[in-house]
Structure 1
Amino acid sequence: MKIHIDIDCFFVSAARIVAPELEHKAVAIGGRSDTKIFTKETKNQTVNFENNGSFVPTFYKAYESKDDDLANFKDANGRIRGILTTSSYEARAYGVKTAMSIHQALQLCPQLIIKAPNMSLYQELSHKLHDFLALKIPLIEQASIDEFYGDLSGWIEDEDIPRFIDNLRHEIKKELQLPVSIGAAKTRYIAKLATSYAKPFGCKTITKYEFDKFINPIKVEDFAGIGKSMKNRLHSAQIKTLGELRKRRGTVESWGPYATELYKRVNGESDAEIQTQHTRKSIGISRTFDALYDRVELQRRVHVLARHLSFAIMKLEVIPTVFHLGIAYEMNQKSHKNISLAEIFTEKKFDTLCINLFLEADIHKRLKIIRLSINCSSFTRDSKKELSLIGFEEEQKMHKLTKTTQTLREKYGLDAIKFASEF
């Protein structure tokens, strides 16, 4: 059997380890997009390659501010800004939800305690949990900063698994002070679903005899992998539960390979091996800010984001071949542009490429922009693309310069060297 382990309200649980007085209180972790990277205020930034997932940034401050009272979330005009990354179950009872604005959450729950995120602490606790699980389970996979999979096949007999995972969650709570919920099933996909029904601080094992009873009543949108578009398509076909989906195999499989694989996962027919080592497939950076019209300033911000992302790419020692730039405007408008380019990576060329992508993607020139994102993927080691030999000699010189710049930034900080275009 496979098991899925998820830390309950991880960021809140971490805050309670540091401040036990937060136990049993309505607590939320709030964050504002780090727009300080566009000013001279940013210091001590570090890069995160080890964990990913919602609200886990690639770049974060190595030494974060301890000033996490409500004043920390107010802008120059005294407005409370930012969104919630997670909240305690006590807060959720008032209707407080993840990704809700802090202002809205306080209207629902005036006594809500808002704490600033502490990525360094989260990374430390995640490492400790991984090391602890590795002592208990032969194969363990870290899926995100707060989510793990394990394979108990041949290690624990199926009939002993409910007792094993129950003991495991209590051991984790005792040793690390972290509350976890654990789901167990024949496949990792069903185990993950079981975990969501075990929360908070619970366990749930789905045997083959309980499979139909458990799966059939669940809404299709509650299954991982069924997003908004797939949900709408299923609903239009009068498929609203997983049981109804399982009865309509022909219909679902006629929608193509993705839907076919999805059907197999729901039906417990498809599984994936536990991967003890993950190879990063992409790297990106994004920032949300107050609506801004000034295109000159926006291009300067693209330069800043490109420098940060270039630093991460060089640190990973990869050569990306697919580049994506996205823009979010006011009035809920979006635009993006992609390009494929198989050439030696240099910071200067990457910077120019990002500016060109921005100019092409910016199709709503009368609207203000609220978010910029850049993503790089399809690394040469994975895509097997051959690098272009056009201008190869000159590119090698520029790559050497980029490596020299990287060495200086590693020693003196990411902001030690900047292009004039950032000023």
Structure 2
Amino acid sequence: MTANNPHKGRVIFHIDMNCFYASVEAAYNPDLKGKALAIAGNPEERKGIVVTSSYEARAKGVKTTMTIWQAKRNCPELIVMRPNFERYRAASKALFRILSEITPDVQPVSIDEGYMDITHVTSDLTPLQIADSLQKRVLDELDLPCSIGIAPNKFLAKMASDMKKPLGITVLRKRELASTLWPLPIGEMYGVGEKTATKLIEKGIKTIGDLANYNTYELKQVLGINGERLKNRANGIDNRPVDPDAIFEFKSIGSSQTLPYDTVDEQEIRRLLAILSENVERRMKRKNAAGQSIQLMIRYQDRKTITRSKKLYRYIDGKDEIMYEAEELFHKHWNQEPVRLLGITLQDVEVKKNIAKQLDLFTYEKEAGKEKLYEAIEGLTEKYGEDVFKKLEAVKEDQPRTSFQKDFLDDYRKE
């Protein structure tokens, strides 16, 4: 039995579940197999948009983020189901349990995808055979299809898993980049969004190969340090480790929601801000965290979107405080035009035990001349008690209601 194989470099898998929500529903109810199926929100409201759909639905022109009425216009026989988050959570747990039986080096990225480093897995099987066995096991035990990318780093593994769907296994080697990766349109490169793609195309960078061979200095003039990073990725350079502890890292927590209709009704707007504040509070409590900056997003009826933020002198995590700051930002920056969507995000987020460490008594005395530090400690003491530096507030676990793709990581780390 041999490892897979450190002296030849790393062996990284990217596992990407195919049409995950729709596939889970079809596994739960086999009558849905082979049918045009979409998972979406409330069909009676505009916010009822397609979250994901089966390949049969996609073949008829159904796309993610499409409204239900648009999807049904393209595919009259479309079956629309609301999401069942507990069902998807259970399937995700089962998936990552299977991955973790092969190696402890598993990094979940979202509810339906993750990386594995099998470099040091001792096995008589080749990496391709391990991937084939894993794919078949997930299909046999969970009745769920997945695609697997195999490469020497995370970026190439991610690109590889997208190349064959459903039930694809793709090996992407550095020596093959010129023939397999470089001909692809720049917009298909992982990490290149629509705005970045537009900037690159304006510079004549139309393919990933164009990016790989473009002048680094000029790229940095257009995209900053990200330009050099993207060029490295296009050349197959990505030294990021597969990090199981990455699930502990988060810097912001937010919630957004589209209104049922565009409105200038301040009561409706305030009602939604209250809902969003409660959603953010719930997620903060799940992570036992607090934030020191708040950001408000407003999208108007013409889809123009603005974001405005405010740095706070104290850490906050409660819905009343979040609501107060969000309302203040809203009234300061709202242009009185009909509002389509609102979002609230707490930024500069830290877990409470880290906040306590940062504001311990030694720091308090050393920096006694800084008024803002006094105010921060006073705010912490008021919220968490006199012994804020010795004890942490016990946090009651609530079921997540929003940002489900990120919330599932909390469950994974408790496994």
> Which TM-score band applies after superposition, normalised by the shorter structure?
0.7 to 0.9
Residue 61 of structure 1 corresponds to: none
Within the alignment, does 1:350 sit opposite 2:335 as a pair?
Answer: no
Change (3 A) 1:160 1:371: same
Residue 27 of structure 1 corresponds to: 37
Which of the numbers 238, 243, 250 marks the counterpart of 1:270? 238
Post-superposition CA distance 1:323-381 (Å, at most 9, x none): 1110111012222210112414263433321111111231x21x211111001121245
Within the alignment, does 1:258 sit opposite 2:243 as a pair?
Answer: no
Residue type matched to 1:29 in 2? I
Change (3 A) 1:408 1:128: closer
Residue 75 of structure 2 corresponds to: 109
| Mapped partners of 1:157, 1:206: distance in 2 | 21
| Mapped partners of 2:376, 2:49: distance in 1 | 46
Which of the numbers 297, 307, 311 marks the counterpart of 1:340? 311
Change (3 A) 1:263 1:412: closer
Aligned length: 365
Residue pair 2:102, 2:121 contacting (<8 A) in 1 also: no
Aligned pairs for 1:164-243 (under 5 A) are: 164-243=130-209
Residue 361 of structure 1 corresponds to: 333
| Mapped partners of 2:262, 2:133: distance in 1 | 50
SS of 1:388's equivalent in the other structure is: helix
Within the alignment, does 1:373 sit opposite 2:343 as a pair?
Answer: yes
Change (3 A) 1:284 1:220: same
| Mapped partners of 2:227, 2:199: distance in 1 | 11
| Mapped partners of 1:216, 1:298: distance in 2 | 47
SS of 1:379's equivalent in the other structure is: strand
Q: Which moved more, 1:128-137 or 1:269-278?
A: 269-278
Q: After TM superposition, which residue ranges in structure 1, 4 or more long, deviate above 6 angstroms? A: 156-159, 382-385, 406-414
SS of 1:210's equivalent in the other structure is: helix
Residue 298 of structure 2 corresponds to: 327
SS of 1:209's equivalent in the other structure is: helix
SS of 2:155's equivalent in the other structure is: helix
Residue type matched to 1:282 in 2? S
Residue pair 1:195, 1:204 contacting (<8 A) in 2 also: yes
Question: Structure 1 residue 201: deviation in Å?
Answer: 0.8
Aligned pairs for 1:82-97 (under 5 A) are: 82-97=48-63
Within the alignment, does 1:390 sit opposite 2:356 as a pair?
Answer: no
Q: Which moved more, 1:346-355 or 1:96-105?
A: 346-355
Post-superposition CA distance 1:372-412 (Å, at most 9, x none): 100112124589976731274465334459x9xx9898799
Question: Structure 1 residue 213: deviation in Å?
Answer: 1.0
Residue type matched to 1:368 in 2? P
Question: Structure 1 residue 236: deviation in Å?
Answer: 0.9
| Mapped partners of 2:164, 2:252: distance in 1 | 32
Which of the numbers 272, 275, 287 marks the counterpart of 2:257? 287
Residue type matched to 1:166 in 2? D
Residue pair 1:325, 1:375 contacting (<8 A) in 2 also: yes
| Mapped partners of 2:398, 2:132: distance in 1 | 47
Unaligned runs of 5+ in 2: 1-10, 360-371, 402-415
| Mapped partners of 2:399, 2:172: distance in 1 | 53
| Mapped partners of 1:22, 1:119: distance in 2 | 18
Residue pair 1:325, 1:338 contacting (<8 A) in 2 also: yes
Which of the numbers 139, 146, 149 marks the counterpart of 2:115? 149
Unaligned runs of 5+ in 1: 33-72, 415-423
| Mapped partners of 1:94, 1:412: distance in 2 | 36
| Mapped partners of 2:188, 2:203: distance in 1 | 17
Residue pair 1:326, 1:373 contacting (<8 A) in 2 also: yes
| Mapped partners of 1:115, 1:142: distance in 2 | 26
Change (3 A) 1:266 1:158: farther
Residue type matched to 1:2 in 2? I
Question: Structure 1 residue 233: deviation in Å?
Answer: 1.3
Change (3 A) 1:354 1:385: farther
- Once superposed, what is the RMSD of the aligned Cα atoms? 2.9
Residue pair 2:286, 2:396 contacting (<8 A) in 1 also: no
Change (3 A) 1:157 1:400: same
Residue pair 1:345, 1:399 contacting (<8 A) in 2 also: no
Residue 59 of structure 1 corresponds to: none
Residue pair 2:160, 2:172 contacting (<8 A) in 1 also: yes
| Mapped partners of 2:285, 2:301: distance in 1 | 33
Residue pair 1:189, 1:271 contacting (<8 A) in 2 also: no
Residue pair 2:295, 2:309 contacting (<8 A) in 1 also: yes
Post-superposition CA distance 1:92-134 (Å, at most 9, x none): 1111111111101111111111111100111111011001110
Post-superposition CA distance 1:137-160 (Å, at most 9, x none): 341110000001011213268992
Residue type matched to 2:112 in 1? D
Residue pair 2:292, 2:315 contacting (<8 A) in 1 also: no
Change (3 A) 1:113 1:297: closer
Residue pair 1:336, 1:361 contacting (<8 A) in 2 also: no
Residue pair 2:47, 2:258 contacting (<8 A) in 1 also: no
Change (3 A) 1:238 1:301: same
Residue 311 of structure 1 corresponds to: 282
Residue 212 of structure 2 corresponds to: 246
Residue type matched to 1:288 in 2? T
SS of 1:248's equivalent in the other structure is: coil
Residue 296 of structure 1 corresponds to: 267
